[in-house]
Amino acid sequence: MARNKTAGRRRRVGLAFLLMFAPAFLLIFISTRSCSHRFEKLPDYGEVSEYSFVDSKGKTRTSKEFKGEIILITTIQPTCPNNCAVALGFLKLHIYKILAGKEGIRMISFVTDENGEPMDDLTSTQKMLEDEVLNYDPDIWILAKGDPTDIYDIEKGDKKLIEEIEKEGITKYGYKSMMLLLDRENHLRMIRSGKQEGMIRQMKQHIALLKKEYDLKEYDETH
């Protein structure tokens, strides 16, 4: 019974996503100018709003700083790292391992309590990552203090991401369970739940696909 309920929630995640972004949701095949490559290209859902936050060093950061980089946006709950909105264990296992080995890809995690309220003190969360994440680099996995709704408040037509997720009752933690993949131009390219391992694995594949898109573009520009 519990398994059926979980499957139902996952279907609702997909439904809410499709309601907002279809028909662009379907992946399309494209060719480069030379027609030497064919690969799946992630859909482009448009530019997200500019955002800002304070990092663990007390420095104010803005979205303009990350133009030209691939960014994964998540939340993180240090008081319940694997049982609240996002499964920290799967994030570090499937996502951080690939970020640590590549330039131009970073993850920004907004730190909240178990109720989803922003936390002011990031010290204990950074200490937790330093203890639990092999070769943790705070410049690659950036902790953020601020209101995550500023970036999750995405509109598509007459629909809003936060409202659709809350309305569908996808998870207890609503939009705070979602991972947002942003490209080098600050455009939203994919949304996946950060609570299920399968969804986190999918996001890992989407990150690799987006990186490949830029690699092939750079190759064509130099050949």
Domains by residue range for the chain, with CATH: 2-222 (3.40.30.10)
Please tell me whether residue 76 adopts helix, strand or coil conformation.
strand
Cis peptide before 138 (omega within 30 of 0): no
Distance CA 22, CA 212 (A): 24
Residue 147: C-alpha distances to residues 74, 90, 92, 120, 125 (Å): 12, 24, 23, 11, 17
Distance CA 221, CA 199 (A): 33
Q: What is the pLDDT of residue 223?
A: 80
Residues (pLDDT < 70) of the chain are 1-39, 168-172
Q: What is the pLDDT of residue 159?
A: 78
Q: How far apart are the first and last CA of the chain?
A: 56
Q: What is the pLDDT of residue 16?
A: 53
Q: What is the pLDDT of residue 29?
A: 28
Task: Report DSSP state, residue 109.
Answer: E
Identify whether the C-beta of residue 73 lies closer than 8 Å to the C-beta of residue 176: no
